[in-house]
Structure 1
């Protein structure tokens, strides 16, 4: 039996309207200041998040709700946000 390999899922690849939680921020290949900015606006581990809308033609921008706030994010920014489905969702 082969062990399961868990591949990180990022917010840009998430299903619409699926309850998720933030697992972390990984800005590898992106401007390093994005880590601080994303944390400052609420994308911190354990916080609940939901992808609400993806624009046509490449999906840029994306609309995400975190807490009581709603943000438009570029696809590249959303790709830095690692998410998972919380237990019991």
Structure 2
């Protein structure tokens, strides 16, 4: 997760990030380690939501976290985004 957020943030202007994210988005299985180990700002949470939304019904996702989903709202700043992410992950 520590490498994923900067990759998402730089996708608009770095070709290397675009290529890496294209590979990630095309995967059948995505494993994201250390989810929620640090707080995200509004933009980062929004970018992460869009990634999870992309995978919804397209790919399998495995997440590891030292925080339970009930604590994610504290780290994602926006309860609406937190709820939307959890809805897609639990479906």
> TM-score band (shorter)?
under 0.3
Larger helix proportion of the pair: 2
Where is the strand percentage greater, Structure 1 or Structure 2?
1
TM-score of the aligned structures, taking structure 2 as reference length: 0.27
Q: Which has the higher contact order (CA 8 A, sep 6+)?
A: 1
Normalising by structure 1, we get a TM-score of: 0.28
